[in-house]
Amino acid sequence: MAFAAFTAADVVVRTPRKKSPVALLLLLPGVLYLVLFFLAPLVSLFFTALQVPHLDGDIGQYDYGFNWANYTDVIRMYLPHILRSFGYAIIATVIALLFSYPLAYLIGVKARSRPMLQGLMLVLVIAPFFISFLLRTLAWKQILADESLIITSLKALSLLAPDAHFTGTPAAVIFGLAYNFIPFMTLPLYTSLERLDLRYLEAGSDLYANPFTVFRKITVPLSMPGIIAGTLLTFIPAAGDYVNASKDFLGAPDTQMIGNVIETNFLVLQNYPAAAALSIILMAVILIIVGVYVKRLGTEDLL
């Protein structure tokens, strides 16, 4: 009797803290990593953003303080860059989606009966990753330069004005962003579409839906997890990208995005508080946009 009471008590005590030391041990590296390389820099970034210039100090010397005006200053100064960043990123995401969806559909649905072809096409989508994206972007700069075959041909065909440029324009930056992030869009879309049960499409056409309606009402909603994953994987890095928009690559001074401004402030102007404030603004805006986007599509259970 007493024995039974003992074991029962023991069980009651034990069940609430089910965490075994092994589980904690397994979590440790990950937690340590996050604290060291995510949480600590984030806190440091937050305080850097509030620093004040050192009195009579050199350029790049700052003291800790609570200078909230850093935020209003950078917003006043760099609002066009901030807006441009999100504008470019949204347009590039839409272009990447429009390009990737048919591609992913071709690989994931149409090529389903031919696994060899499917594998080959997937390799082709991933293949650009084997070359550094800096090199690839530089290559595009060459390909799209004023004296390149493409641009001279377009000019010869009067599709482009004789004095027009392509590199250095917003179009070139958006092109570069879309190009660089297409694999990130295609792969999640592919995984979604690869699992798409074609019997639903047959059922749709059996219920009087024409091919366009079947696509709109069945294919798109069922591939929504892929669309959300792909657009987020494209939009988030694209908004913070500083390579494509840089004047050394496809951009020009007037196509600078928020990433370029942060880079310049950190590395050239050594205005650390401004760079940190911009970084936090970038992060916050992305969080808000992504939050609203995911909420609007109502797909917590899909993510």
Residues 96 and 236 sit within 8 Å (Cβ to Cβ): no
Q: Based on CB atoms, which residue is closest to other proteins, 91 or 209? A: 209
- Shortest reach from residue 221's CB to other proteins, in Å: 5
Which one, 57 or 221, has the nearer CB to other proteins? Answer: 221
Closest CA to 97 of 210, 198, 229: 229
Nearer CB in complex with other proteins: 35/203: 203
* Most distant pair of Cα atoms in the chain: their distance: 99
**What's the token pair of residue 209?**
């839906």
Q: Minimum Å distance from CB 207 to other proteins?
A: 4
Min dist CB 230 to other proteins, Å, is 18
Q: Measured from the CB of residue 223, what is the shortest distance to other proteins in angstroms?
A: 10
Q: Are 140 and 250 in contact (CB under 8 A)?
A: yes
Task: List contacts with other proteins (CB under 8 A).
Answer: 197, 199-200, 202-211, 213-214, 217-218, 221-222, 224
Q: Could you give the CA distance from residue 141 to residue 91 in angstroms, rounded to a whole number?
A: 20
**CA–CA separation, 277 vs 66, rounded Å?**
12
Angle, CA of 114, 233 and 302, to the nearest 5°? 75
Closer residue to other proteins in complex, CB, 202/248: 202
Name which of 160 and 222 has its Cβ closer to other proteins.
222
Taking the CA atoms of residue 76, residue 78, residue 84 and residue 90 in that order, the dihedral angle to the nearest 10 degrees is: -80
DSSP per-residue letters across 6-40: HHHHHHHHHTT----HHHHHHHHHHHHHHIIIIIH
8 Å CB contact between 247 and 253:
yes
Nearer to other proteins, 217 or 295 (CB): 217
CB of 210 to other proteins, least distance (A): 5
Q: How far is the CB of 214 from other proteins (least distance, A)?
A: 8
Q: In the chain, which ranges are continuous DSSP H helix?
A: 2-14, 21-34, 40-48, 69-105, 115-126, 133-143, 149-156, 170-194, 198-206, 211-214, 220-222, 224-240, 258-263, 272-297
Instruction: Say what angle helices 133-143 and 170-194 make with each other, to 10 degrees.
Output: 130
We find the least distance from the C-beta atom of residue 192 to other proteins, in angstroms, to be 12
> From the CB of 303, what's the least distance to other proteins, in Å?
15
When the beta carbons of 3 and 208 are compared against other proteins, the nearer one is 208
| CB closer to other proteins, 54 vs 217 | 217
For residues 212 and 290, the answer to whether their CB atoms sit within 8 Å is no
